[in-house]
Amino acid sequence: MEIIQQLVNGISLGSIYALIALGYTMVYGIVKLINFAHGDVFMVGSFVGFYSITFLHLSFFPALILSMVACALFGVLIERIAYKPLRNATRIAALITAIGVSLLIENGMIFFRGAQLEAYPNDILPTNKINLLGVTVESKSLLILGVSVALMIILQFVVHKTKIGKAMRAVSHDAEAAKLMGINVNNTISATFAIGSSLAGAAGVIFGTYYYKIEPLMGVIPGLKAFVAAVLGGIGIIPGAMVGGLLLGVIESLVSAAGGSLWRDGVAFIVLILILIFMPQGIFGKNKREKV
């Protein structure tokens, strides 16, 4: 039963990676930029959630929504200020800018509130133990998993059924042709940043609720791992990010269960190297060479 317990842990962790990976993949799909500041948006979301709960005395769901809204605005702000002026610049210029933005957010956070840890209260969600077919799981894990899955379903709905979702897919396939349909490409790109960042904000609150401790550099490792998850699923492909995230979470948990706790953080990067060697287009990626 230990293995099933680990599987449950892995899925919970993986759903956090998946939520973050979605933002990477959506932004990459539409502007071909690896937004390395995305992990820091996750961190900011986690802090917004923390302050909403501790200062504003909000409960879990209102805090989650506030954090998602704040991160959506923050994501759009980053896009408009830092990335939009570079839309026609070289990729390396945009990438370096993204790393700069990441450092700015991390150090800005440290400047304004210090580098010390903060801890989410442990009574935000009920922590009953539930017995499911002989396996004990915390009700909190189930709720968190449920929230993540619900967000992913909503995202699928938005992307496939709504007008803005169709515009997003059209722009990511061919921005010029999208313009000919009357689509406002700038607004569509902003909407993509908003949605991706709001999911990172949700992931931040879920992370805090689940693992308690948060700090200004907390976005670095999950950000990198979510990036690996996005590449694993096939960068630019939304279901790929979901599957890649879950898979990475499960692999990590199984490795630590097998006695390799020390290896846990390394696993993601071994996975990255293996995909880049054997399956550079990722699980869902079409086997085509990228235009340079």
Partner 1 sequence: MLKVEDLNVYYGNIHALKGVSLEINEGEIVTLIGANGAGKSTLLKTISGLLKPKQGKIIFEGKSITAKAAQTIVKQGISHVPEGRRVFANMTVEENLQLGAYLRKDKKGIKQDMEMVYDLFPRLLERLKQQAGTLSGGEQQMLAMGRALMAKPRLLLLDEPSMGLAPLLVKTIFRIIEEINVTGTTVLLVEQNANLALSIADRAYVVETGRIVLSGNAEELTSSEKVKMAYLGGN
Select 70 or 189, whichever has its Cβ closest to partner 1: 189
**Least distance in angstroms from the C-beta of 184 to partner 1:** 6
**Least distance in angstroms from the C-beta of 183 to partner 1:** 6
Select 2 or 176, whichever has its Cβ closest to partner 1: 176
Select 180 or 262, whichever has its Cβ closest to partner 1: 180
Q: Is 53 exposed, middle or buried (0-12, 13-18, 19+ CB in 10 A)?
A: buried
- CA 168 – CA 25 distance, rounded (Å): 12
Total binding residues toward partner 1, as defined by CB under 8 A: 16
Question: Beta partners for 119?
Answer: 213
From 7, 249, 255, select the one nearest 137 (Cα to Cα): 7
Binding to partner 1 (CB under 8 A): which residues in 218-257? Answer: none
Question: Beta partners for 213?
Answer: 119
Binding to partner 1 (CB under 8 A): which residues in 183-212? Answer: 183-184
Select 142 or 175, whichever has its Cβ closest to partner 1: 175
**Least distance in angstroms from the C-beta of 105 to partner 1:** 32
Sequence length of the chain is: 292
- CA 60 – CA 120 distance, rounded (Å): 11
Select 62 or 239, whichever has its Cβ closest to partner 1: 239
Select 2 or 290, whichever has its Cβ closest to partner 1: 290
**Least distance in angstroms from the C-beta of 181 to partner 1:** 5
Record the tokens describing residue 102, joined without a space.
């990441």
**Least distance in angstroms from the C-beta of 258 to partner 1:** 39
Select 164 or 254, whichever has its Cβ closest to partner 1: 164
What is the widest separation between alpha-carbon atoms in the chain? Answer: 58
Strands 135-138 and 213-214 come out as unpaired
Q: One symbol per residue from 155 to 184: x for binding partner 1 (CB under 8 A), - otherwise; what is it? A: --------x--xx-xx--xx-xxxxxxxxx
**Least distance in angstroms from the C-beta of 34 to partner 1:** 21
Provide the 3-class DSSP secondary structure of residue 136: strand
The one-letter code for the residue type at 41 is V
End-to-end CA gap in the chain? 49
**Least distance in angstroms from the C-beta of 66 to partner 1:** 32
Phi, psi angle pair for 119, to nearest 5°: -125, 130
Question: Beta partners for 137?
Answer: 130
- CA 207 – CA 64 distance, rounded (Å): 11
**Least distance in angstroms from the C-beta of 160 to partner 1:** 9
State how far the alpha carbon of 162 is from the alpha carbons of 46, 69, 154, in Å. 28, 19, 11
Phi, psi angle pair for 79, to nearest 5°: -65, -45
Binding to partner 1 (CB under 8 A): which residues in 105-164? Answer: 163
Select 26 or 206, whichever has its Cβ closest to partner 1: 26
Binding site for partner 1 (CB under 8 A): 163, 166-167, 169-170, 173-174, 176-184
